[in-house]
Amino acid sequence: MLRAPARPIVATHWGTYRVKADEGAQAQLEGYELDEDPSPIASAMLEARTHASRIKQPMVREGFLEHGHHGGEILRGQQRFVPVSWHDAIRIVSGQLERVREEYGNESIYGGSYGWASAGRFHHAQSQIHRFLNVIGGYTASVQNYSYAAADVIVPHVIGSKAGLVSGHTSWRSIIESSELVVMFGGAPRKNAQVNSGGIGRHILRPSLMKAHDAGVEFVLVSPIRDDVAKEVDARWIAVRPNTDVALMLGIAHTLITESKHDVAFLERYCIGFEKFESYVMGKNDDLPKSARWASEITDISEETIRKLALEMARKRTMIMMSWSLQRADHGEQPYWMAITLAAMLGQIGLPGGGFGFGYGSVNGIGNEAYGFSWPSLPQGKNAVTQFIPVARVADMLLNPGAQYDYNGVSRTFPDIKCVYWAGGNPFHHHQDLNRLVRAWQKPEVIVVHESWWNACARHADIVLPVTTQLERNDIVCSGRDRFVTPSHRLHDPAGESKDDYEIFSLLARSMGVEFEFTEGRDEEDWLRHLYGIALSRVREAGLTLPDFDVFWQRGICELPEPPPQADLLAEFRNDPVGNVLRTPSGKIEIFSEKIDSFGYDDCPGHPAWLEPYEWLGASAVQDYPLHLISNQPATKLHSQYDLGTRSMASKIHGREPIRIHPDDAAARGILDGEVVRVFNARGALLAGVSVSCEVRRGVVQIATGAWYDPVEPGMPCSLDKHGNPNVLTRDKGTSRLAQGVSAHSCLVEIVRFTGHVPPITAFSAPQAES
Ligand SMILES: Nc1nc2c(c(=O)[nH]1)N[C@H]1C(S)=C(S)[C@@H](COP(=O)(O)OP(=O)(O)OC[C@H]3O[C@@H](n4cnc5c(=O)[nH]c(N)nc54)[C@H](O)[C@@H]3O)O[C@H]1N2
Ligand SMILES: Nc1nc2c(c(=O)[nH]1)N[C@H]1C(S)=C(S)[C@@H](COP(=O)(O)OP(=O)(O)OC[C@H]3O[C@@H](n4cnc5c(=O)[nH]c(N)nc54)[C@H](O)[C@@H]3O)O[C@H]1N2
Ligand SMILES: [Mo]
């Protein structure tokens, strides 16, 4: 039995903490002493553990318990839940899995189960569920993510790898030493770099930005929101219209060409297809030069500002940073392709402090110099089913079984899903157009969810299995973006009857006759020792050391020494483009891609282009919905996790998620700071609390994601969301036929003062249950 030391450690997606328990006082989580900028998100973990909305027993929807999967007409999300014993719960779930497998085959089980779950190499819920579903014969999987799906597909077409997207970035060290100008599209907000999937030893964004500022690096922020970068770096703010960055970059490109400031030698030696792109920029085929004046109309940035910025970028050592948010928009592939193209025109790719890089402010650790170890995790086994979907097409799949769709050059068919099994994610947080999801969610015969709290995902399930939280189990936490290995100690016994995902899947596996295949005979401690052993051997291969497991477990955080300086992004290619060809068809940076062109997609042509999003401030829909909604990441929590904590609750206005609006837009609608408003479009409506602010540009409103979906009429598509979940407003459409990513940031709305009776929030109490 593993014992925690006197001062245990908890290691999470938002940082590493020591548990402080002064006599008599409530325990607290204190940031690790070497972390210069610890995140306060952890404070909610202790209070959430015992919150009223904690799920304490296995629960089954009343209609499902009575009628099984022929549950009648009643919509998911509307019915009472009935508690059952673990014995019955396991019997019901394994019985359903066996039935679905037999009647329809494993392909009809959707186990994509997207979500952040909790940090930890062993208890990671996605690894657990995928391992289990593989052991029982496989499942329909999902590929890509909600974070950067469009980038994930387009970037390899252009540079032959994902370098500069998730890893391999030019380091902060290089930026601090060599950049003169950093142009940040979407900024680098401190709120986002609080987290990193898989854990954090030290928060590096703020200290890195400050060092760069102190070293004289200048910052330009291109964003509809001014506080997308820390005030202290004195960034010049270019308050662009959302989703028009490609037009802005085209205006810059046009200026560079007309002023002969583009690096022709670089373009010839390292790139392919610039001529075609140049024809497009100069308007040779459509008589429409993409000039600074042209761009000015679209972006609402003056022609002079665009021209000046172009010349400054050519003159200085310039790093083009782009946040992941820009590609979560209609045609989200284009800003990424265009940013690489613009960096190529400047000719600084592969030079210290120059070129491009994505997501420096999206999660912690981007631009850190790291070893790049692939740390061990629970092996998932092999999936015998080859069917998959691009992850954000889940509602399309449930609503349209058998329908054809395009994806990255291939025509694919949606499977017919009968069972949805989710552990470690919240589709009623992350998915777009939730009213459509509510309809899609009625289609499967059975939905099983593992959750700790009665969030909307649990409420819309048939069978809810209560899981432990990270504070109730032991784990090992380490991330490839950092250089620490940390135990995360169990502080408490499981709340109520909750069990670890591992234990639940072990019981199901036993019931289905495949227990050993799932467990390999190991319990939690055996797995932790096993995984640590693999980590140890990988570290040793690199000539480094870690203590043995028992010392590690008691001592706590182990930091590996500073890694050697890392090469700048694409420096090897720059130094030797023949010896280090890129893994693109041409071996070069593809400004024009024959391959993408051959797909014949009108929504993703052969070179970067300005393609109007379906909703933006220049669309005809502004007549009805004149405000562009930005639904960005929340400062006070991780997605929907810990929305019930004091910190998140303190940020609410009349209990609703705050929506920020420019004073002129508020005045035009007679809306005052602190009032409750109804935010709506043709897809849905929500209530939010108004924060009038000059930090957002005119015509833009901003509401963070993460408020727990709280419909006035549960289970009914188009019910008013009382709480402020922006995904009742966003559109559920792929970025393009190429990547089929999320396009949440292309969304128009209107706002009015809410004059009705403000309904109470009910998302945080347990649903009506029979006990
Ligand atoms: N409009 C709009 N929508 C967006 C975005 C946006 O910018 N705008 N961003 C998108 C992005 S980038 C992302 S990544 C997604 C995030 O979407 P998700 O990752 O789905 O969001 P989370 O709230 O983190 O959901 C994780 C769930 O797992 C549960 N959980 C935690 N630990 C465990 C565990 O050990 N076991 C089990 N079984 N469950 C556990 C938590 O209680 C929580 O409910 O949202 C996307 N949605
Ligand atoms: N605290 C906290 N941190 C998080 C998360 C969280 O839930 N909580 N989620 C994490 C996850 S999963 C991810 S993927 C990352 C996402 O990281 P990002 O995608 O970088 O995060 P966002 O906050 O959505 O967007 C950053 C900023 O981009 C700007 N922006 C939006 N649209 C446009 C546009 O069209 N043009 C320009 N120029 N700017 C635009 C917005 O003003 C927004 O504030 O964040 C991670 N960090
Ligand atoms: Mo994400």
pLDDT digits (tens, 9 = 90+) for 335-378: 999 999 999 999 999 999 999 999 999 999 999 998 888 899 99
Residue 688's beta-bridge partner residues? 677
The whole-angstrom separation of Cα 68 and Cα 465 is 17
Q: Give the three-state DSSP class for 640.
A: coil
Q: Is the pLDDT of residue 24 over 90?
A: no
Measured from the CB, is residue 186 less than 6 Å from ligand 2? yes
- The reported pLDDT for the residue numbered 134 is 98
Whole-angstrom CA distances from 357 to 144, 455, 484, 570 are 19, 36, 24, 11
Q: Where do you find CATH 3.40.228.10 in the chain?
A: 168-369+570-598
How many residues in the chain?
771
* 611-638: b (≥16 Cβ within 10 Å) or e: bebbbbbbbeebeebbbbbbbbbbbbbb
pLDDT digits (tens, 9 = 90+) for 294-306: 999 999 999 999 9
DSSP letters along 454-520, please?
--HHHHT-SEEEEB--GGGS-EEE--TTS-EEEEE---SPPSTT-B-HHHHHHHHHHHTT-HHHHHT
- Name the token pair of 409: 């050059």
Sequence-ordered list of residues with C-beta below 8 angstroms from that of 427, at least 6 positions apart, any chain: 114, 115, 394, 437, 457
Minimum mean pLDDT range among 6-10, 98-102, 515-519, 525-529:
6-10
- Beta strands across the sheet bearing 15-20: 9-12, 15-20, 28-31
What spacing in Å lies between the alpha carbon of 503 and ligand 2's midpoint? 35
Measured from the CB, is residue 358 less than 6 Å from ligand 2? no
Q: Among residues 17, 116, 453, 708, which one is catalytic?
A: 116
Question: Ligand 2 pocket check: which of 184, 298, 327, 632 to mutate, most ligand atoms within 8 Å of Cβ?
Answer: 632
Q: What is the mean pLDDT of residues 512-516?
A: 98
Q: Tell the residue nearest (CA) to atom 4 of ligand 2.
A: 192
Q: Tell the residue nearest (CA) to atom 5 of ligand 1.
A: 430
- The reported pLDDT for the residue numbered 762 is 96
Q: Are 453 and 53 in contact (CB under 8 A)?
A: yes
For the chain, first and last CA: distance in Å? 34
What spacing in Å lies between the alpha carbon of 175 and ligand 3's midpoint? 25
What superfamily in CATH does domain 168-369+570-598 come from?
A: Dimethylsulfoxide Reductase, domain 2 (3.40.228.10)
What spacing in Å lies between the alpha carbon of 115 and ligand 3's midpoint? 9
Four-CA torsion 255, 260, 266, 268, nearest 10 degrees: 100
Q: Would you identify the CATH topology of the domain 59-146+377-519?
A: Rossmann fold (3.40.50)
- The reported pLDDT for the residue numbered 26 is 79
The whole-angstrom separation of Cα 126 and Cα 117 is 7
Q: Which ligand sits nearest to residue 323's alpha carbon? A: 2
Q: Is the pLDDT of residue 688 over 50?
A: yes
Whole-angstrom CA distances from 99 to 94, 105, 446, 515 are 9, 9, 11, 19
Q: Which ligand sits nearest to residue 638's alpha carbon? A: 2
Going 627 to 629 to 634 to 639, the CA torsion angle's sign is positive
Q: Give the three-state DSSP class for 676.
A: strand
pLDDT digits (tens, 9 = 90+) for 422-480: 999 999 999 999 999 999 999 999 999 999 999 999 999 999 999 999 999 999 999 88
Q: Is the pLDDT of residue 489 over 70?
A: yes
Ligand 1 atom at shortest distance from the alpha carbon of 641: 23
Going 593 to 596 to 601 to 604, the CA torsion angle's sign is negative
What spacing in Å lies between the alpha carbon of 701 and ligand 3's midpoint? 21
Q: Is the pLDDT of residue 381 over 90?
A: yes
Closest CA to 482 of 563, 570, 541: 563
Q: Where does ligand 1 bind, in terms of residues with CB under 6 Å?
A: 114-118, 123, 125, 146-147, 328, 423-426, 429-430, 450-453, 455, 467, 501, 631-632, 638-641, 705, 726-727, 730, 744
Ligand 2 atom at shortest distance from the alpha carbon of 39: 1
Q: Are 646 and 44 in contact (CB under 8 A)?
A: yes
Secondary element (H or E) of residue 113:
none
Task: Please give the angle made by the CA atoms of 110, 112 and 115, to the nearest 5 degrees.
Answer: 135
- The reported pLDDT for the residue numbered 72 is 63
- The reported pLDDT for the residue numbered 771 is 46
What spacing in Å lies between the alpha carbon of 116 and ligand 3's midpoint? 8
Q: Among residues 14, 32, 114, 146, which one is catalytic?
A: 114
Question: Ligand 2 pocket check: which of 203, 633, 639 to mutate, most ligand atoms within 8 Å of Cβ?
Answer: 633
The whole-angstrom separation of Cα 429 and Cα 464 is 17
- The reported pLDDT for the residue numbered 75 is 80
The whole-angstrom separation of Cα 649 and Cα 694 is 23
Q: Is the pLDDT of residue 120 over 50?
A: yes
Question: Ligand 1 pocket check: which of 45, 641, 749 to mutate, most ligand atoms within 8 Å of Cβ?
Answer: 641
- The reported pLDDT for the residue numbered 570 is 98
Measured from the CB, is residue 108 less than 6 Å from ligand 2? no
pLDDT, the chain, mean: 96
Per DSSP bridges, beta strands 28-31 and 15-20 are: antiparallel
Measured from the CB, is residue 638 less than 6 Å from ligand 2? yes
The whole-angstrom separation of Cα 12 and Cα 271 is 42
pLDDT digits (tens, 9 = 90+) for 689-700: 999 999 999 999
Closest CA to 607 of 325, 341, 282: 341
Question: Ligand 1 pocket check: which of 127, 197, 430 to mutate, most ligand atoms within 8 Å of Cβ?
Answer: 430
Known catalytic residue at 114:
yes
Q: Whole-model pTM?
A: 0.98
Known catalytic residue at 116:
yes
Q: Are 719 and 683 in contact (CB under 8 A)?
A: no
Q: Is the pLDDT of residue 666 over 90?
A: yes
Measured from the CB, is residue 29 less than 6 Å from ligand 2? no
The whole-angstrom separation of Cα 239 and Cα 185 is 10
Measured from the CB, is residue 191 less than 6 Å from ligand 2? yes
The share of the chain scoring above pLDDT 90, in percent, equals 94
Measured from the CB, is residue 96 less than 6 Å from ligand 2? no
Q: Is the pLDDT of residue 728 over 50?
A: yes
Residue 74 confidence class, pLDDT cut points 50, 70, 90? low
Q: Which ligand sits nearest to residue 42's alpha carbon? A: 2
Whole-angstrom CA distances from 586 to 68, 271, 338 are 57, 9, 18
Say which residue the tokens 């929504």 belong to: 603
Q: Where do you find CATH 2.40.40.20 in the chain?
A: 620-753
- The reported pLDDT for the residue numbered 22 is 72
Closest CA to 111 of 433, 394, 404: 394
Per DSSP bridges, beta strands 589-590 and 271-272 are: parallel
Q: Identify the burial level of 25 via C-beta atoms within 10 angstroms of its C-beta, where 0-12 means exposed, 13-18 middle and 19 or more buried.
A: exposed
Q: What is the mean pLDDT of residues 534-545?
A: 94
Q: Is the pLDDT of residue 559 over 80?
A: yes
Measured from the CB, is residue 613 less than 6 Å from ligand 2? no
Q: Is the pLDDT of residue 31 over 80?
A: yes
Q: Is the pLDDT of residue 616 over 50?
A: yes
Q: Which CATH architecture has domain 620-753?
A: Beta Barrel (2.40)
Q: Are 39 and 15 in contact (CB under 8 A)?
A: yes
